[in-house]
Amino acid sequence: AAAAGLDEWAVDNLLGYLGEQREATGRLPDDRTILIERFRDELGDWRVILLSPYGMRVHGPLALAVGKRLYERYGVDEKPTASDDGIVVRLPDNLDSAENPPGADIFVFDPDEVEALVTAEVGGSALFASRFRECAGRALLLPRTRPGKRTPLWQQRQRSAQLLSVASR
């Protein structure tokens, strides 16, 4: 660890953190292990976390599918948070059922259903809206009202959303 540029204090903290993780879950995530944790946060809501080595290219689309599943299963419009390290899902406490708390099953999909599910959900995602706005601006489909001046971001978003709704029909 010293070769990685960590001082003694940082090494102790890292080893303590890894020890707590192993004690809590029985394993540590690595390049071949996907780990799913479930616990209650400080507000009493459920947190279900997928820790995986596959990065944002896998976690981003999977989070869209998980968000759709949460809506279908629990009726909550909760958007999971994806990152390079995994996906975090927050579920309100009122979904609690002593015999069936939320778990790993929210991340498991049939291979035949996941592509259609992600394709259907991507059009409503924030990332898609952002990329669409950027591309529409480049293609001059979102003209500037005052040449030489920037259009406010809220106005760009509004016009882009209108264009996207017309184009998606």
Q: Hey, what are 49's tokens?
A: 């976390």
Side-chain-side CA neighbours of residue 76 (13 Å): 17
**Residue pLDDT, tens place only, 107-122:** 999 988 888 888 877 7
pTM: 0.69
Helix/strand/coil for 120: helix
164 contacts 126 by C-beta, under 8 angstroms: no
| Mean pLDDT value across residues 84-99 | 78
